[in-house]
Amino acid sequence: MSRDAQQLFRFYQDLSHLTQRGSTIAEYVWIDGSGITLRSKAKTITKKVEKLEDIPDWNYDGSSCYQASTHNSEVIMKPIAFYPDPFREGDNIIVLTETFVWADDTFKTLVPANTNFRHFAKRIFESGDHEKPWFGIEQEYSLLETKNKFVIKPLGWPSSGFPGPQGPYYCSVGANNCYGRAIMDAHYKACLFSGVKISGTNCEVMPGQWEYQVGPCEGIEAGDMLWVSRYLLGRVAEDFGVSVSFEPKLFKDWNGAGCHTNFSTTTMRAGTGGMDYIHGLMERMSSKHREHIELYGDNTKRLTGHHETSDPTKFSYGAGNRAASVRIPTSTAADNGRGYIEDRRPASDIDPYVVGAAIIDTCILDESL
């Protein structure tokens, strides 16, 4: 780019000096009919938004999001949380929404849209409230290079064939091994700006793959913040001309991508139940293994018993064991059960509302166990 073009580019990149005359731009975000992909559109609110009630319900064309038919296309968005917008800055906001459709053509009753699992999860999260469930979610993802808007290969990979075998890439430093650090860093700062509780990040085992962690968050906030963090990641990568993939297993012989879900209750954090409490939880988890696998994203190719994953047909757990369904951190085992557990089964494309609700239901609510 010439110097002038560069200056123009910067000017249009940063328009924060232009006054909005008291109006707020609200970017409404929703989960589309795929249950994985996020979409968004913007609305002007002619004042500064101070509280959730200042943000009106809105709607979008569900027939263009795999979510509704053309003749009954409206999906209604109800705001559930809002965050400072790191892209537009100022008082502008990102609005996370739950989605609903009309039950029938009397337009009197709204029912949750097909991918609004939060609506159901909310009640389970509320019922588990007395044990104050905390979640820390490790989101793994792959960056994909695009050319003329088409995805061509994972970021940094050679134009034909595969890079050298896995080994040097995890937590690596250097242009030969680490691809996409600027994207990771911009996303990290965007999350902190927005108030998303991002707790760390690292480069992963497959080149072009990364991880960040959200949490610990209490209750359903873990799901809200993970979805917002994914939205921010997609937007940052877009500005770099890169696409984000939450596909759990891109290549057979390479590490897949997960969403390890770390979990604790008041009892575990206080350590009052000792290791007996943890063993009890593992029995509960074991009895629900099959149901959990159904709810834990697309694990058909990822859970193989290889590449730091467990056998999907058998529940297993162990202290410090990265080939088990659930790992007990050695710090938790060494401190007689004071700490947390790590469910390693969830795939990178999970809905965290579904996984969180399943864990609460099994570990806190199920009285038949």
Using CB under 6 A as the criterion, which residues of the chain lie in contact with ligand ADP when the complex forms?
134-136, 138, 199-200, 213, 215-216, 260, 262-264, 269, 340, 342
Q: At its nearest, how many Å lie between Mn ion and the CB of residue 308?
A: 8
- The nearer residue to ligand ADP, 77 or 268, going by C-beta atoms, is 268
Q: Which helix (H) or strand (E) holds 44?
A: strand 38-45
Q: How far is the CB of 19 from Mn ion (least distance, A)?
A: 28
CB of 359 to ligand ADP, least distance (A): 11
The H or E element that residue 194 is part of is helix 181-194
Binding region for Mn ion (CB under 5 A): 138, 211, 260
Asked if 180 contacts 113 with a C-beta cutoff of 8 angstroms, the reply is: no
Are residues 154 and 142 in contact, defined by beta-carbon separation less than 8 angstroms?
Answer: yes
Dihedral, 87, 92, 98, 101 alpha carbons, nearest 10: -110
Shortest spacing between CB 268 and ligand ADP, in angstroms: 7
Rank residues 140 and 351 by Cβ distance to Mn ion and give the closer one: 140
Q: Are 261 and 356 in contact (CB under 8 A)?
A: yes
Partner whose binding site includes residue 340, from ligand ADP, Mn ion, none (CB under 5 to 8 Å by kind) = ligand ADP
Bridge partners of residue 77, in order along the sequence: 58, 99
Residues ≥6 apart with Cβ < 8 Å to 34: 66, 115
- Residues 77 and 73: their CA atoms lie apart, in Å, by 13
Which structure tokens are listed for 283?
């029995």
**CA gap 242, 365 in Å, rounded:** 42
- What number of other Cβ atoms are within 10 A of residue 111's Cβ? 12
Give whichever of 127 and 199 is closer to Mn ion, judged by the CB atom.
199
Shortest Cβ 171–ligand ADP spacing (Å):
10
User: Is the CB of 98 or the CB of 224 nearer to ligand ADP?
Assistant: 224
Q: How many Cβ atoms sit within 10 Å of the Cβ of residue 134?
A: 20
Which residue number, 67 or 86, has a Cβ lying nearer to Mn ion?
67
Q: Least distance in Å: CB of 316 to Mn ion?
A: 15
Q: Binds 199, which of ligand ADP, Mn ion, none (CB < 5 to 8 A, cut-off by type)?
A: ligand ADP
Least Å distance, CB 325 to Mn ion, is: 13
Nearer to Mn ion, 32 or 211 (CB): 211
User: Between residues 154 and 356, which has the closer beta carbon with respect to ligand ADP?
Assistant: 356
262 binds, among ligand ADP, Mn ion, none (CB under 5 to 8 A by kind): ligand ADP
Residue 269's binding partner, choosing from ligand ADP, Mn ion, none, with beta-carbon cut-off 5 to 8 A by kind? ligand ADP
Choose the one of Mn ion, ligand ADP, none that binds residue 92, judging by a C-beta under 5 to 8 angstroms depending on kind. none
- Give the sign of the dihedral formed by CA 342, CA 345, CA 348, CA 350: negative
